[in-house]
Structure 1
């Protein structure tokens, strides 16, 4: 049965399977069949659009990044070849396939019994993020149940963090009653919350580095399209720093500038289409919540509404938002430089650098688009992530080569910057792979305590995060009003 499920998913792919799941979920929420069908189509169109744009842009930007790396003289043994190899490996192992089937059942039960307020089943595709960690654990320990347990435990705390950020994410990205819960992109909630008081102490909250400020202050040069071109020029020059006197170099530089400008322009349009897949579902959630609470007033305070629940959506919904994509692109050359100078680092991030906008979504939402804070958080957390992927390199390489794909010629050790450069995930993995009951039990106890706190104090937590967000300058709704 597991092999059949894998074959079905591999044949049809996310752009078909995800719309089918959304159609089913929509019908279960009593959305009209016509609206449910259009939601499914919008999801398929959005995912296809994302795929086309990223596939067209990735070869160009990856080549530039490799040139940038070459110019710095970086020689690191663990090479990032992208998350796709990890995805293939997760579907190639029995642990991964088992979670793909039974994880879906668990997601439904966790939601039904109120353990989580995130309906994760609507985001089936991103389950590979849980599957790959179980797969790597099984490669190391050869313990099937321990490895499957690791995948399930990571699901639990990913759902917890997704609910912590849910109100902020939903508000910032404008998708009512929705949140992302992808394991490989959700743990950034931790540094976004913990480090925020430090950034405020340093005055980062008073720096108006937001897309709105750029647009109003810089005019045409503050438009996402123009900013994309300028960032493309910068990255292109860094990638061709030793050949700026050649026409070939400038041809590549200008190509990157135009393509990144196109990304900044086109992605928000695709994102808007993709978001329409979830709007009817989110609206229905809103109606059902008001019915459950016996309050049909649309102005009800959603922060204090304990019956409110959220749809798990693909993080592609937020990729094209200006602050998100600008922050992610700025972090590309920064992370290359950090990989070069970070003592003890063995990881060379390359292919997954294009995923940085996905990786910063939670930080963007919690800091309300403060680009300076997003970059600062990214530098701290992803630097720690480089150490995590350096430690995991041997394990990940063995698992991918055993269950997934052959290694590229000339590369001994591989990683995925998006999947493995995860400090929190690495700590949980370390606890389980140790097979020590004390460390595993400690991880579980910490989760249970955090779950209790969330269940009891969710309104207070959300209000605290909203107060944090409001301290950031650059928004008409912030405590410090904008003055241009």
Structure 2
């Protein structure tokens, strides 16, 4: 077991841009795509992830976060919990005892669910198993029981896989990703809220008829509706609110404060570069997806459609998602200031807002108005969750000797603001085992419901295939 854990920990430490080419090459060969074609597809995906990470980490995670920090300082927002960002959260998760075993364990659970028809998703995005480990690490702290932490991580995984199944048809239609699902522990956690808010909006007269079609608006406003111009205008507003000048300034500590014009250009670049990197990801995934679909239809006709589970990064390039994300960055800072009881200042994870919205976009059928309303709701809920979980996250960081940079309390938008993580953690505090047992029973019921849905879908596909063959 130690050797297995060490192998998967070593594989995970290579990072998503290296792990995904290896995993996709193996999967492509297993599905009969051929070594050369599979290798090229895997490398294309890896290159896409490198490009995407460069854009998001530098332009949003560094430049935009610096502007927001300046904005917070300028307006004197006194918030005591520091958003340390997802890299810190993942390091805390994978440094825990639960993190050491999560990759082989989660793979085993996924295989069992595939074999029992309780999921359609083959989740190859093993790097993002850290989301499950994060939940497990917090439960291990709150229960003082590592075994319950591991149990909680599995509960989290099962729910996320089923969410990936249910949203996969919407992902195919809206995001243009055939044969792909997004079983992402962060993005998927907001799906129930998105469905609930979207359902509620359908019941409100007048409101239900409002539809902001971002693509149509871009055409209507001409050059000012172009993604480049839209991103630059939003960047200009953020730079002005941050108090940036027309020229960069060298500070006394040797750091440089960028100009307002640079922030404007940088946000315009975000609107252009992220869709292009996402397109590169899709280009690499298509041969693997096609081979997987052909293989499943040939050998497992009774299992319905099988989806390749991928990082939600593949959906961040959608114009509605990107537009909403840039608008919601200043909104997030405003909410952090006005929400009574919130203690979290959003900083490092502002770059994660596009990931938060990836599955919301297809659920609201690309309606920008509804997407923004859902985004505001999930941000507000997220701030309260991040505030509530901050003591546990701070304890988890101390347990793995994570350097908190002098901060007394830390949290994150990803995954500290995760409603699914919060639900599992708080149920873990009910009795010794009672809360988690209740969740486990719910997991089983959800899996059985999903199995029934999958078998019904498989029967329908089989009938369609038989009718098509008969017509020929």
Alignment length (residue pairs): 446
In structure 2, relative to structure 1, the CA distance for the partners of 1:10 and 1:311 (3 Å cut) is closer
Shift of 1:204: 4.2
Residue 109 of structure 1: aligned partner: 112
Distance 1:112 1:293 in 2: 10
* 1:124-139 alignment runs, 5 A limit: 124-139=126-141
TM-score (norm 1): 0.87
Encode CA deviations 1:96-151: one digit per residue, 9 max, x unaligned: 1111222222222222222211111x111111111111122223333121000010
Q: Does 1:447 align with 2:443?
A: yes
Residue 392 of structure 2: aligned partner: 395
Distance 2:9 2:422 in 1: 30
SS of the residue 2:308 aligns to? strand
Shift of 1:252: 2.0
The root-mean-square deviation of aligned C-alpha atoms, in Å, is 2.3
Distance 2:344 2:240 in 1: 24
Distance 2:19 2:451 in 1: 32
Distance 1:68 1:460 in 2: 53
Encode CA deviations 1:446-482: one digit per residue, 9 max, x unaligned: 2333333333346999xxxxxxxxxxxxxxxxxxxxx
Any gaps of 5 or more consecutive residues in structure 2? 250-256, 458-472
Instruction: Tell me if the contact between 2:234 and 2:326 (Cα under 8 Å) persists in the aligned partners.
Output: yes
Shift of 1:385: 1.6
Residue 43 of structure 1: aligned partner: 45
Q: Does 1:276 align with 2:286?
A: no
Residue 463 of structure 2: aligned partner: none
Residue 419 of structure 1: aligned partner: 415
Shift of 1:3: 6.2
Residue 473 of structure 1: aligned partner: none
Encode CA deviations 1:338-379: one digit per residue, 9 max, x unaligned: 111111112221110111001111110111211111111121
In structure 2, relative to structure 1, the CA distance for the partners of 1:268 and 1:393 (3 Å cut) is same
Instruction: Tell me if the contact between 1:136 and 1:399 (Cα under 8 Å) persists in the aligned partners.
Output: yes
Which of 316, 320, 325 does residue 319 from structure 1 map onto? Answer: 316
Residue 197 of structure 2: aligned partner: 195
TM-score (norm 2): 0.89
Distance 1:180 1:202 in 2: 33
SS of the residue 1:119 aligns to? strand
Q: Does 1:89 align with 2:114?
A: no
Shift of 1:292: 5.4
* 1:94-243 alignment runs, 5 A limit: 94-120=97-123, 122-200=124-202, 201-240=204-243
Instruction: Tell me if the contact between 1:175 and 1:282 (Cα under 8 Å) persists in the aligned partners.
Output: no
Distance 1:210 1:71 in 2: 35
Instruction: Tell me if the contact between 1:6 and 1:91 (Cα under 8 Å) persists in the aligned partners.
Output: no
Instruction: Tell me if the contact between 1:90 and 1:97 (Cα under 8 Å) persists in the aligned partners.
Output: no
Residue 288 of structure 1: aligned partner: 295
Q: Does 1:266 align with 2:251?
A: no
Distance 1:199 1:92 in 2: 42
Shift of 1:7: 5.6
SS of the residue 2:20 aligns to? helix
Encode CA deviations 1:294-352: one digit per residue, 9 max, x unaligned: 7xxxxxxxxxx971121101111111211111111111111111111111112221110
Distance 2:75 2:430 in 1: 37
Any gaps of 5 or more consecutive residues in structure 1? 295-304, 462-484
